[in-house]
Structure 1
């Protein structure tokens, strides 16, 4: 009876010693394709050449520092960046908020002006490339770069002195003029105003459009773009929303 367990254990030990360890199959690493020569006639691939971006023009270089202003006005300035950045301005150029430019409602496009922050005495020379601001009480809308230079970015608005240093055309005479109304929160209100003006001023061309900021505007192009007629409509027209502004087109 005692020999049976001993014999069983002996057989188990012999079987364990004769067992071979299992082999684990490992997939070989993928072969790397050898670089093939380019076919004859294939031009060599050159590294892409990059050119540094052009610096925005400096309007201050166009006028002498001691130039006497042609016109001086004081009022509130604001600034605008996105969503107007990279969109076409009133002069046909793409607006760059990093360039030294500004918007003004009545100065000839291309005018060079000096804007001075009356609180800090910091100034910037900018070129008028766009129309605005279309908010009552404001006289000029600066690019972000110009606003930063005179310390206006954080506050958003500030009292400034605007000195007109150079203009491509006369300030007082000539020009093409229009009237702009708005902004309206809803398109329906803008179109109702446009219909009213169309019935009242039958010789005028009425345009309704929306701005990148999302509000709606109505522009009245008077016959022959005469300033006197545009000024008359500006005085006689009232709106319950937004404002009525005299605008120079050129």
Structure 2
């Protein structure tokens, strides 16, 4: 059987070999067992060969041009690089504010303006303090349960003697003082 086959990498082969025709026998010597493979050189300056009989599609040319990029390469990390996935996040600096009794306020004040002008939302983690600047973040811990919550100061109070903090209902639920209405807490100011 005789046939003509043009290879995908013909430009590279043709550049090296020019115009070449190979006829190979399978070993039996019969005409039907022979296969003909032909390469045709493209026209280049100084080459009088005929134009190629096959032109690859744009997709084939694109695939061939980028075939070397298909092999995944392991990224090389310079010795001076730092792997940030292994760095533990730094704990925020804290300043102990002491301990005292905290209470909470909820439905009765929900939607009313706070001292900083916001509307009070009993579902947010906020609190009222007499002197801390608005926006301060305070870690409030219930030493009885070990549970803690971080609240943002957005109001003034409490106005009951002996109490240091008024928590929103959501914050009071987090540390477990809803049932009693108040409880002993430890306060830490988060700085930075």
TM-score normalised by length of structure 2:
0.52
Deviation at 1:70, TM superposition (A): 2.5
Alignment match, 2:162: 137
Alignment match, 2:186: 161
Deviation at 1:118, TM superposition (A): 1.2
Change (3 A) 1:119 1:102: same
Alignment match, 1:123: 148
Q: How does 1:60-209 map to 2 (within 5 A)?
A: 66-166=91-191
Deviation at 1:129, TM superposition (A): 0.4
Secondary structure in structure 1 of the residue aligned to 2:187: strand
Secondary structure in structure 2 of the residue aligned to 1:110: coil
Secondary structure in structure 2 of the residue aligned to 1:118: coil
Alignment match, 1:208: none
Q: How does 1:203-222 map to 2 (within 5 A)?
A: none
Q: Which whole-Å deviations, capped at 9, do the CAs of 1:215-248 have from their partners, x for residues lacking one? A: xxxxxxxxxxxxxxxxxxxxxxxxxxxxxxxxxx
Deviation at 1:72, TM superposition (A): 2.1
Structure 1 unpaired stretches of 5+: 1-63, 168-250
Q: Which whole-Å deviations, capped at 9, do the CAs of 1:102-132 have from their partners, x for residues lacking one? A: 0000101110000000110100000000001
Change (3 A) 1:115 1:65: farther
Deviation at 1:83, TM superposition (A): 1.3
Structure 2 unpaired stretches of 5+: 1-88
TM-score normalised by length of structure 1:
0.40
Deviation at 1:156, TM superposition (A): 0.5
> In the aligned structure 2, how far is the partner of 1:116 from the partner of 1:65?
20
> In the aligned structure 2, how far is the partner of 1:65 from the partner of 1:134?
36
> In the aligned structure 2, how far is the partner of 1:88 from the partner of 1:130?
9
Q: Check whether the contact 2:93–2:191 (CA below 8 A) recurs between aligned residues.
A: no
Q: Check whether the contact 2:137–2:153 (CA below 8 A) recurs between aligned residues.
A: yes
C-alpha RMSD of the superposition: 1.5
> In the aligned structure 1, how far is the partner of 2:102 from the partner of 2:177?
9
Secondary structure in structure 1 of the residue aligned to 2:120: coil
Larger radius of gyration: 2
Deviation at 1:65, TM superposition (A): 7.1
Secondary structure in structure 2 of the residue aligned to 1:148: helix
